[in-house]
Amino acid sequence: MAHPVSEVLRPLTQEKRSELQCVKHASSEPHLRHQRTVALLAMAEGASHIKAAQQAGWSTLAPVRKLVGRFTEQGLGTLNDPPRRGRAVRYGAAKKARILQEACRTPDRAEDATANWSLSLPQQALRKAPDGLPQVSTFTILLPCTRQAIAGRRAVPGAIPAER
C-alpha cells in the first residue's frame, strides 16, 4: 500500500528562518522544541521527510508529517507543546503581577481601616477593585508572596527574608 502524499512545507520567510536558527543553536531550549526546529529547517532546505526525521533524531516519518501540517496552520507556534489535560491556568502573568502588587502595598489607615498587614487585606482590595479578581483566595495571594520572600525580595511588608 502506498503512503499518503505528505504536505509540502511552505517557504520560510527570512524572519522565521532566523528565529528557527536562534532556537536551533540555543542551549536552553527543551529537547523536543530543538528537534522540531531541526526538522523544519531540514525541510526548508529541501530535505525529504526521511532525511528531516533522521536529522531530528526521529526513527519514523509520522512526527515530521504532523509537524509540517501543524506548521502550515499555526506557524512558529508549532514548536511549542500543545495544551494538555489538567487544570487550566486561572491567573496569568499579568494577574499574578497585580496580586503581588496589591500584596506588597503597605496598608493605609484611612483607606483600609487598619495599620497591620494581613492576607485578607489584599484579598478584599482585589475583590472590590474594578480591575480586580472577584474570586481570589488568600492562598492564591500567599503563593506569589512566599516565592518572593524565598527569593529574598521581601515582597510582603514585614516579611522575613530567606537565609542564603
Ordered by start, the domain boundaries in the chain are 14-79, 93-150
Q: Nearest 5°: CA angle at 10, between 46 and 17?
A: 75
Pick the closest to residue 124 from 116, 112, 115 (CA basis): 112
* Segment 78-100, tens digit of pLDDT: 898 877 888 888 888 889 888 88
* Segment 104-141, tens digit of pLDDT: 888 888 888 888 888 889 999 899 999 889 999 988 88
Backbone angles phi, psi at 87, to 5 degrees: -70, 130
pTM recorded for the entire structure: 0.53
